[in-house]
A and B are shown apart, each in its own frame.
Chain A
Amino acid sequence: MADAYESLTDHEDDARWAYGTGFSDPLAGVDTTVPSGIDHEDLAAYCLMLGDDALIMSHRLQQWVTRAPETEDELAIANIALDLLGQARLLLSRAAFVSGSGDEDSLAYLRPASQFRNVNLAARADADFAHLVARLLMFSSWRLALFDRLTGAADPVLSAIAAKGVKELTYHRDYAAQWVLRLGDGTEISRGRMRAAVGDLLGGSLVDELFAVHEVEERLAGVAVSPGGVKEEVLSVWGQVMRAATLAEGVGTTAPAGGRPPPGPPPPPPGGGGHDCAGGAFARAGSAFPRAGWA
């Protein structure tokens, strides 16, 4: 009888593990031909931008696992993170295929922080649960509006990824919006925290970056969606939630009732920051290389 570990390391038999011991290309078997007339380098860069947004946001959400206020929210946050990770895998695979080098793993694991192309909002560390749900509302509203338009993209793979993503993001946005409403129109403490969170997120350049048009998006007419074109719709969704949550007035101008100091630099991550090595790297990458300024 071989030792007990042999049965655990039998790489000929992935099926004995719940989900196998490795990952296969999530685009395996998909027709990945790039339509003629689309610039490969630009398409790869665009997929990388959209993929990095999802990858980094997913990691920030995963930091909440074991830290959410209730088991139900832990499940919700983990599920949303999983959806985004799935979108990231598809998009990074697309980027790797189109650029003709590497794969999703080399893009996810082997790039220096300076080469990540996510918007800073995705990397922003959460100060508390109110900050998380406010950030998720902003991120998912923005991404949903982009993906809804991307379903008409001239790249069939990108359009298919977007069509799946729209269904997922609709659930993410509803979850976040309902929490913003509950906390904003809640107790004095929850309201104070929600006001502080919204004030922090709207106070800097995070929002401007979401709607700034990148040169890759400009060049990819017919494929990329201009983020400037979704601004009105996204702001209208935010406004709808803010009004329902009685947060529409004085956001960012009133000291939070809960006593948390007004936010300045990126707030500490949940749990006090002791675990946040990776998060710190993301945040630095974001502030040093904002997407809008990337050339």
Chain B
Amino acid sequence: MTSAAASTAATVAAGVADPEMPMLTLGDLGILRGVDEEPGRVIVTITPTYSGCPAMQTIRDDLTVALRAAGYREVEVRTVLTPAWTTDWITADGHDKLAAAGISPPGPAPRRAAGPVPLTLVPRASAISCPRCGSPETETITPFSATACRSLHRCTVCLEPFEHVKEI
């Protein structure tokens, strides 16, 4: 439905901040999969980033609170699992906001050829640039950082550690 009210509900939902990376909105992050208005209620559909993402309940609550505050009295938040979220759904705005916050945005998600998932025995050469000084000379400290969706790196020029949203 594309009534003015529905587009407003969509705007409200898309503007809710992600609890883990609050510089991003749910719209920026690409986890908002639909906002539909039926008579008397709004149905918001979201998808988790990772299976174990502990922020899903907070996101549901935040969406409900924001939409109620905007005048939508009945809010239903649904989950979809497929298609699985990919970092390719993070918007260009989202990339800019991550970089401005000192977090390196993801590159394109890996594309798989047919056959078994390839094993990476030696960490790939880092193609990640330092979000602070812009140097391409960086190294990976750990592939799992403060949240499942981020890895930890260090710039070998300015020596600052930084996080990177890893491609998935």
Contact = CB atoms under 8 A, between A and B. Distances in A.
A49 B80 CA distance: 23
A248 interface: no
A164 interface: yes
B142 interface: yes
B51 A72 contact: no
Interface string B72-98: 000011111111110000000000000
B123 interface: yes
Contacts of A19: 19, 54-55, 57-58
A277 B53 CA distance: 28
Contacts of B81: 30, 90, 157, 160-161, 163-164
A83 B144 CA distance: 11
A82 B81 CA distance: 17
Interface in A65-88: 72-73, 75-76, 78-80, 82-87
B148 A163 contact: no
A181 B55 contact: no
B134 to A, nearest CB: 25
Given A20-B57, A83-B51, A72 B152 contact: yes
B89 to A, nearest CB: 13
B67 to A, nearest CB: 14
Interface stretch (B3-11, B99-107, B114-122): B114-122
Chain A interface category by residue count: 35 or more
A22 B54 CA distance: 11
Contact of A178 (B54, B77, B122): B122
Contact of A148 (B80, B117, B168): B117
A240 B82 contact: no
Contacts of A75: 142, 144-146, 152
Most chain B CB within a 10 A radius of its CB, from A86, A90, A145, A240: A86
Contacts of B141: 72
A23 B52 CA distance: 12
A76 B116 contact: no
Contact of B144 (A20, A80, A237): A80
B51 A161 contact: yes
A29 interface: yes
A173 B82 CA distance: 23
A130 interface: no
Contacts of A18: 19, 58
B121 A181 contact: yes
Contact of A84 (B52, B77, B83, B117): B52
A72 to B, nearest CB: 4
Nearest to A20: B57
A25 to B, nearest CB: 9
Contacts of A237: 116, 119
A174 B120 contact: yes
Contact of B143 (A85, A145, A161, A171): A171
B65 interface: yes
A237 B115 CA distance: 13
A72 B58 contact: no
Given A148-B116, A159-B82, A79 B58 contact: no
B151 to A, nearest CB: 9
Contacts of B54: 19, 82
Contacts of A72: 141-142, 144, 152
Interface in B111-151: 116-117, 119-123, 141-148
Interface string A15-42: 1001110111011111000000000000
Interface of B: 19, 45, 48, 50-58, 60-62, 65, 76-85, 116-117, 119-123, 141-148, 152, 166, 168
Given A20-B61, A157-B81, A165-B51, 13 more contacts: A15-B58, A15-B61, A23-B57, A26-B79, A29-B80, A72-B152, A82-B52, A163-B83, A164-B48, A168-B50, A171-B143, A171-B166, A241-B121
10 contacts: A19-B19, A19-B54, A73-B142, A76-B142, A170-B117, A175-B144, A177-B119, A237-B116, A237-B119, A244-B121
